[in-house]
């Protein structure tokens, strides 16, 4: 069953790259006591994700923070090395935390798994964005298949 506004984020973890190498951040560490804008993409280095989705959140980070967002995260069903390389490629730096959902466990746990086997991409995450306030979903914007409209940073800003 897919998550909805008012739901609590389930316990889980993401892979992150640290100065010492691959590490882990729990959903509790990521969301507790903070208002977090998080967005999900079907795949790192894919056209829409690289040309529009991540750049939009990087460019609008200050405006999001001015509206009360403490942290911004991007997750995808990719490994930590791919997410780290993609973050470097996108200039995400400390602005957008690149989160690896390597086995798609988080995407499944929140009901946002995407079956992209028909495109040779396996099981991924749907494209969406949400605002999580102290672990509770405050805003949720889920895209229709193949669309990029409601999950953008610009749409999120207009709805904060």
Q: Which residues pair with 25 in a beta bridge?
A: 14
Q: Would you tell me how many other CB atoms lie within 10 Å of the CB of residue 11? A: 11
From 30, 49, 54, 69, active-site residue: 49
Secondary structure (DSSP) of 57-84:
HHHTHHHHHHTT--EEEEEESS-HHHHH
Question: Catalytic site residue 74?
Answer: no
* Residue 127, both tokens: 């494209």
Active site residues: 49
């Amino acid at each position: 069953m897919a998550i909805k506004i008012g739901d609590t984020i389930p316990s889980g973890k993401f892979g992150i790259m640290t100065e010492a190498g691959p590490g882990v951040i729990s959903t509790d560490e990521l969301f507790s006591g903070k208002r977090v804008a998080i967005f999900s993409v079907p795949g790192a280095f894919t056209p829409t994700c690289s040309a529009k989705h991540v750049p939009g959140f990087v460019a609008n980070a200050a405006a999001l923070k001015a509206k009360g967002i403490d942290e911004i995260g991007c997750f995808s069903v990719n490994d930590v090395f791919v997410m780290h390389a993609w973050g470097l490629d996108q200039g995400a730096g400390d602005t957008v935390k690149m989160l690896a959902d390597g086995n798609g466990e988080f995407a499944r746990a929140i009901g946002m798994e995407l079956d992209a086997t028909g495109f040779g991409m396996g099981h991924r995450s749907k494209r969406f964005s949400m605002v999580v306030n102290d672990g509770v979903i405050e805003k949720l914007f889920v895209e229709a298949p193949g669309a990029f409209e409601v999950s953008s940073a610009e749409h999120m800003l207009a709805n904060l």
